[in-house]
Amino acid sequence: MRLTPFLVLLSVTALAAQDGPRSNPPGGHWEFGVIRQAPDFSGSYSKVGGSSYDTDKDLGLGKDTTGIGALIEYEGRRFLLHMATYGQDYIGDKVTSQDVVINNTTYSGGTEVKSQVKLRNYELDWTIKVWRWDMAYLGLDLGFNAWNLKVAAQGVGTAPGYPPQYRSDSAAVTVPIPQLGGSFGAHLGKRADFRAYYNWLSRSGAKYHREGADVRFYPLDWLGLRVNYESEGFNVPEGSIDTSTALHINKNGVGFGAVARF
């Protein structure tokens, strides 16, 4: 791959760099936190012989329940390791205008479909601080994120002259996404941290992007408040990565949380 020499060069540059007497942060530290992320979620999914639905047109999804997630980080002079997980539930109730398929169960147009989608997000990101200054850095982001979507639906058919017919089914979709991109971080004294990042991928017509910003304020040396914004988009046309699967998903929103720093 053409990208490989570039990644190797950046990695070697980061590992070979020497820390100056005023490098920041002065030593490694851990952060543990609780987070609450409630993103807007929309998209479509289709797989030959499996499921086919649009979250807006077919399911009419809206936010329901936001779970409390967890965050673990370690930051040293040369790298930042970030791990996090959170969840959000969505519900929908809509009369479909076309056929909707959930795990081989077909809900014909005109059927009232009540649905629930559980989204679980898992993040593992490693930032190499390629260039460092006293209070800031530019980094290379590497990692692996995954979305797990669990879709459940119940349809009520009301054909003229027949009693209501109830049909239900569920399906799960796991979307693994490698992470590659750049980030900028700044330590504004001892009371505030800032980080912004942009990750992207493109292969065989499939495209992915992830961008966001994270601001933390520490009223106490060991306790901080976190506000972040993140936007992700995943566009996989049929025939790009898989000949039988098409996936289009957008997810964005603001999150809040609290972190303990040691």
pLDDT tens digit sequence for 187-203: 998 899 999 999 999 98
Query: In the structure, what pLDDT confidence band is assigned to residue 27 with cuts at 50, 70 and 90?
Result: low
pLDDT one-digit tens code per residue, 96-118: 888 888 888 888 888 888 899 99
pTM: 0.82
Contact at 8 Å (CB) between 59 and 153? yes
pLDDT at 111: 84
**CA-based end-to-end distance of the chain:** 40
**CA distance linking residue 233 with residue 1, whole number of Å:** 24
Can you tell me the mean pLDDT for 219-237?
Answer: 95
Task: Judge whether residue 19 has pLDDT over 80.
Answer: no
Task: Judge whether residue 246 has pLDDT over 50.
Answer: yes
User: What are the b/e assignments for 33-66, b being 16+ CB within 10 Å?
Assistant: bebbbebebbbbbbbeeebbbbbeebbbbeeeeb
More confident residue, 176 or 18: 176
**CA distance linking residue 58 with residue 98, whole number of Å:** 8
The phi, psi pair for 103, rounded to 5°, reads: 50, 50
pLDDT at 227: 98
Q: Which of 248, 238, 17, 230 is nearest to 131 (CA)?
A: 17
Query: In the structure, what pLDDT confidence band is assigned to residue 70 with cuts at 50, 70 and 90?
Result: very high
Domain spanning 3-12+28-261: which superfamily? OMPT-like (2.40.128.90)
pLDDT at 259: 98
